[in-house]
Structure 1
Amino acid sequence: MPEARSWQVRWWLNRWRQASAAERGTWRLAAVSTVTGLAVATASVVAAGPWDSGQRTAERDRAAAERPAGGTSRPGTATPPSAAPVLAALGAPGTVTTPGSGEEAVPPPTGTGLADALEPLLEDGALGDVRTVSVVDADSGRQVYGVDADRAAVPASVIKLATGAAVLSARGSGYRLTTRVVSAGHDRVVLVGGGDPTLTARPVHGPDHPASLRELADGTASALKRSGVRRVSLGYDTSLYSGSERHPIGPNENLSPVTPLMVDEGRLDKSDRGPAPRSDDPAGDAARAFAKLLRDRGVEVKGEPRRAKAGRGAKELAAVHSQPLSALVERMLTASDNDLGEALLRQTAIAARRPADFAGGGRAVTARLKALGLPLKGVRIADGSGLDRADRVPAALLAQVLVRAASPDHPELRPLITGLPVAGFTGTLRGRYAEDGVGRGVVRAKTGTLTGVNSLAGTVVDADGRLLVFAFMTTGTTDPAGAQHALDRLASTVANCGCR
């Protein structure tokens, strides 16, 4: 049992001595469940943790050593492993009972209790000028403690929770992004981008892997040879998206130009996560890589690939499919993957038949959040990744997104929970909580980091076994490491508190 929970053992022993024989029988089951749940949670995090990496400078080193876990590139195969066992082990809304009281649910903490525990920590100067807080009981959806919770602030990367909620609501967790090759005549083919930034040109292994450009070339070459075609010209179609490919932040190691056709997120090195040099022309690079793969398979490609549009009803020669949205959303959250954030924003727009650009995506995400019954006062969605400082989101919205995701009424949103980094184990929280035994393995949260902006939103199971969600947002910070540590202490305090 983790050291941070040793106080629970002492509490159980003291109460055990005072209990009746009947009470002891009930308590024994609860105590064993608690210990077993924590052990299973730790093992699950290590063995089946979700996607991992990082995106911003402050998070780069924390994620550099992580390897992603996968999904599958073919429709109809099993959903990839995620961190769902962690949530199940630690508890779910409405399932925790008070020792000796049958099925009566443990009450949530009180606002007064949480205020006593959190307000001294909120005085930490590392938290900057503006601090907004929302702590919500996941079972009832009621906010039990808040500080300016409805005040919209720059969210940084925690906006990906809203992006994920919107695309899962619009498309469903099993939806896959498809990259195709179609015939544009007897000796001309077009590579059609489907908006999958995880499409890879690297060798893949095993049944659960991203969509493979090599497999697409295999299928295309076979189809051409069956038709007696050995020489083609190649075009590439990026018409799925509209508007500028450039994010308002400009060229940046954290994000490639936003295009529906790219391989390995436009990375120019061998990395598969975190900041990296990016291509200025990821679509053209993908097409040139595809042309080389066709040549390697005995199909001559005339000249250089050129931009083109696939005609309506064009015959499909081959296609590959991304992992399901459940896996892509998990990766986006755990890895804080900006390229996926922008791709999924546009998928939300396409599902709503809006322009697949920054503005159309922002409107589509906002509409989906409204349809979920979420509070939208002051909300502005300017992008899907959180890199744009024009984004504005209140802490109350982030908390309620997580409430919906934890609810059995919205199973399609569960990847928002399973994709959260686990403190001390995965993703952008892997290198945090090293000296915090209370929060390690218990706090699950999405991080957000921009210069002067730090945020943290996620879930904990408190000392009484109640599932709570929280959102902490700060602006005006000058010490990123100090701000992160202060946010981590807040989340750990909620986890360690019955607070009634």
Structure 2
Amino acid sequence: MNDPGVRIVTGKSRYPAAPFVVLIAILLIPVAALTALLVWSDGQADEHRAALAASPDDAATSRPAPSSAAPELATGLLNYRRMPNQLATAGDDNRLSDAMSELATFIDERSCLSVSVDGRPVTAHNADVAVIPASVHKLFVAAVALEVLGPDHVFTTSVSAPPAVDGVVDGDLVLIGGGDPLLVTDGYPTQDDRYPEFNTTSLDRLADAVAAAGVTTVQGSVLGDGSRYDDEFVIPSWGPDIAYIEAGPYDALVANDGRVVGRSGRQRDPNDAAAREFARLLGERGIRISGGFGVGAADPAQPVLASLESQPLSAVLAEMLTTSDNDTAEMLLKELGVADAGAGTVAGGLAVVDRTLRSWAVPMDGVRLVDASGLSSDNRATCAALLAVLQRVEGGPMAAGLPVAGRTGTLADQFVGTAMEGRLTAKTGTLGNPPVDLDPPAVKALAGYLVTSAGSTIEYVMILNGPDIANPDKYPPYWLALGERLAAYPSGPDPSSVGPR
């Protein structure tokens, strides 16, 4: 049944004709205007031709003198020569890529190579393959420490004790570690160290401060307190040829890398060793210690008698990267845990490193963080991840702290007399593999920068894993081949020679 309020139309619709008439009139207006313009312009042209025919001399004198013809463009507006800088850069990058491809043919599936120029990818050979990184692994903790702690961060070592009365401390004097990895005594012999520490903090100055405070007698013991960190002094996965030899023991309190005057090697407890050294320094300043030395925690309510600050983190990192200081790397890892959640543990520090790298969009597939130094063969990294970190921190304190080819640290005897000397900077990495016929393989790695003659910065990572690649007769050809190719950049024509003509 139809709704009586709705009218169903079954015949032809009829619309008024007036709107169509108006529309046609509107459309004819521009046509008429255009026609009038054409008629006017034709008339003007006829008049001009007539004037020229009637008085050619007058017309000639009234015409402006012809201007000199504009030179014809030798280089078209859309010609590639209009972008000489981009053209030269692309050519240089392609030549470097070709040169690196030749080198990559000698790098097997267990190793990787990645190169970029000012962040532009040039070469990525096995870039996502997980490899054992050795000490280039330190770049991860160095970069994150600068981000989380800041380049001006300092580590404070302090002394607490009951207030002295007439120069006498009635109780224990406690040396409290603040995570300073470069705490040393002035007289400790370091001439046999392959890479002596620098940018150090003198424990002697703290002993001077205690003496200056008027202390003459301690009727108790000198105790070492490293409770800022846990008591794991080495990484469990390190073998016996590494623990307490290449690294450790370390805690929030450590002096001379756990060594003491009159004893060979590193002591088992860094807190005890530091307390022994501090007691010796106090004795040299005429302060009598009745109870010897040992390990113990300070009473938080006890006043601070004296304190000593380290150099800023940027200087500490320069020492760590230049000498490949393993203890410094591991202590920084625990300090990151303290800064993040008050937990001076490996697990706490690794969580901070992992989270920070991911926040930077560093590709973490294949990356496994076990320690900070790279001494564990259980660590895994990729060339892609390390290259991303190098690109992130380029131009900052970490880059400035790297060893220089032929000049400093672990590169002092490398690239001497070549085009790379004084120019190439890198964190090195080395792990041996006795016996060579068993896994894990040996490692030789190089990761850093080279500033080119044109002012560009090349970022590069090469990590070689192989049975005997760390042998002195195995890795140098790879390093030299890499360095020569980097040093040759840019190898193409100057941008001015490919510009517009």
Bigger radius of gyration: 2
Q: Secondary structure at the match of 1:179?
A: strand
* Whole-angstrom CA distance in 1 between matches of 2:208 and 2:368: 44
Structure 1 residue 187, shift from structure 2 partner: 2.7
Task: Specify the alignment match of 1:13 in structure 2.
Answer: none
Counterpart check, 1:155 vs 2:137:
no
CA contact (8 A) 1:454 1:484 kept: no
Find the partner of 1:260 among 249, 252, 266.
252
Evaluate the alpha carbon distance shift between residue 463 and residue 214 of structure 1 in structure 2; reply closer, same or farther with a 3 A threshold.
Answer: closer
CA contact (8 A) 1:197 1:264 kept: no
RMSD value over aligned CA atoms? 2.9
Matched, 1:328 2:310: no
Change (3 A) 1:109 1:419: farther
C-alpha separation in 1, matches of 2:431 and 2:108:
13
Shift of 1:322: 1.1
Q: Which amino acid aligns with 2:364?
A: L
Per-residue CA shift, 1:66-114, capped at 9, x if unaligned? xxxxxxxxxxxxxxxxxxxxxxxxxxxxxxxxxx999989636666433
Give the Å deviation of 1:318.
0.5
Give 1:362's aligned residue: 350
Matched ranges for 1:265-304 at <5 A: 265-267=257-259, 277-304=265-292
Match of 2:15 in 1: none
Structure 2 counterpart of 1:438: 419
Structure 2 unaligned runs (5+)?
1-81, 164-169, 189-197, 433-441, 493-501
Deviation at 1:354, TM superposition (A): 5.2
1:372-391 map, 5 Å: 372-391=360-379
Give, in angstroms, the shift of residue 258 of structure 1. Answer: 2.1
Distance of aligned partners of 1:218 and 1:169 in 2 relative to their CA distance in 1, 3 Å threshold: same
1:137 and 2:127 matched: no
Letter in 2 for 1:200: V
Q: How far 1:292 moved relative to its partner?
A: 2.0
Tell me, in whole angstroms, the C-alpha distance in 2 between the residues paired with 1:242 and 1:236: 14
Q: Deviations over 1:332-356 (max 9, x none)?
A: 1111111111111112111111532
Query: What amino acid sits opposite 1:210 in the alignment?
Result: T
Summarize deviations over 1:338-391 as a string: whole Å, max 9, x none. 111111111211111153222222222112222333222222211111101111
Kept in 2: contact 1:129–1:475 (CA 8 A): no
> Partner residue of 1:92?
none
Segments of structure 1 that go 5 or more residues without pairing to the other structure are 1-99, 271-275, 408-413
The one-letter code matched in structure 1 to 2:136 is V
Q: Structure 2 vs 1, CA of residues 239 and 105 (structure 1 numbering), >3 Å: closer, same or farther? A: farther
Query: 1:188 touches 1:233 (CA, 8 Å); kept in 2?
Result: yes
- What CA distance in whole angstroms lies between the structure 1 residues aligned with 2:392 and 2:469? 33
* 47, 71, 96: which one aligns with 1:114: 96
2:202 aligned residue:
212
Indicate which of 145, 153, 169 corresponds to 1:175: 153
User: What SS does the aligned partner of 2:290 have?
Assistant: strand
Match of 1:496 among 488, 493, 497: 488
The whole-number CA distance in structure 2 between the counterparts of 1:202 and 1:211 is 9
Once the two structures are superposed, residues 237-260 of structure 1 have per-residue CA deviations (whole angstroms, 9 ceiling, x without a partner) of 111111521223243422121212
- Contact conserved, 2:109 with 2:126, CA < 8 A, in 1? no
- Counterpart in 2 of 1:54? none
- Correspondence for 1:447: 428
- Contact 1:354/1:361 (CA < 8 Å) preserved in 2? no
Distance in 2 between the 1:143 and 1:267 partners?
A: 46
CA contact (8 A) 1:181 1:319 kept: yes
- The alpha carbon displacement at 1:209 in A equals 5.5
Q: Is the 8 A contact 1:203 1:214 kept in 2?
A: no
Native 8 Å contact 1:176 1:323 kept in 2:
yes
Distance 2:325 2:183 in 1: 14
Q: Deviations 1:101-140 (Å, cap 9, x if unpaired)?
A: 999896366664333202222333xx565221211222xx
Aligned counterpart in structure 2 of residue 460 of structure 1, from 450, 468, 487 = 450
2-side partners of 1:356 and 1:378: how far apart?
26
Distance in 1 (CA, whole Å) between partners of 2:361 and 2:351 is 16
Distance 1:385 1:369 in 2: 17
DSSP-derived class of the 2:341 partner = coil
Q: Which residue of 1 aligns with 2:466?
A: 476
User: TM-score, normalised to structure 1's length?
Assistant: 0.70
SS at match of 1:489: helix
- Residue 308 in 1 paired to residue 290 in 2? no
Distance between the aligned counterparts of 2:480 and 2:314, measured in 1?
27
C-alpha distance in 2 between matches for 1:326 and 1:199: 16
| 2:321 is equivalent to residue 341 of structure 1 | no
Matches of 2:83 and 2:108 in 1, distance apart? 44
Matched, 1:198 2:176: no
Aligned to 1:94: none
Q: Residue 423 of structure 1 contacts residue 444 of structure 1 at CA under 8 Å; is this kept in 2?
A: yes
| Residues 180, 319 of structure 1: 8 Å contact kept | yes
Question: Which residue number in structure 2 is paired with residue 397 of structure 1?
Answer: 385
Question: For structure 1, which segment, 486-495 or 316-325, has the greater mean C-alpha deviation from structure 2 after superposition?
Answer: 486-495
Letter of the 1:445 counterpart: A
Listed one character per residue, the Cα deviations across residues 195-242 of structure 1 (whole Å, up to 9, x for unaligned) are 2221111159xxx952221111121233253xx865343222111111
Alpha-carbon spacing, 1:108–1:320, altered in 2? closer, same or farther (3 Å):
farther
Deviations 1:125-171 (A, max 9, x none): xx565221211222xx3322211212221110001111110111111
Of 368, 378, 401, which residue of structure 2 is paired with 1:419?
Answer: 401
Residue identity in the other structure for 1:289: E
- Cα–Cα, structure 1 residues 354 and 129, in superposed 2: closer, same or farther, change >3 Å? farther
Q: Is the 8 A contact 1:453 1:476 kept in 2?
A: yes
Contact 1:243–1:356 under 8 Å retained in 2: no
- Of structures 1 and 2, the one with the larger relative CO (CA 8 A, separation 6+) is 1
Shift of 1:193: 1.1
Identity of counterpart residues, as a percentage? 33
- 2:410 pairs with 428, 433, 436, which one? 428
Secondary structure at 2:183's aligned position in 1?
Answer: coil
Alpha-carbon spacing, 1:479–1:154, altered in 2? closer, same or farther (3 Å): closer
Contact 2:100/2:123, CA 8 A, preserved across alignment: no
Amino acid at match of 2:203: L
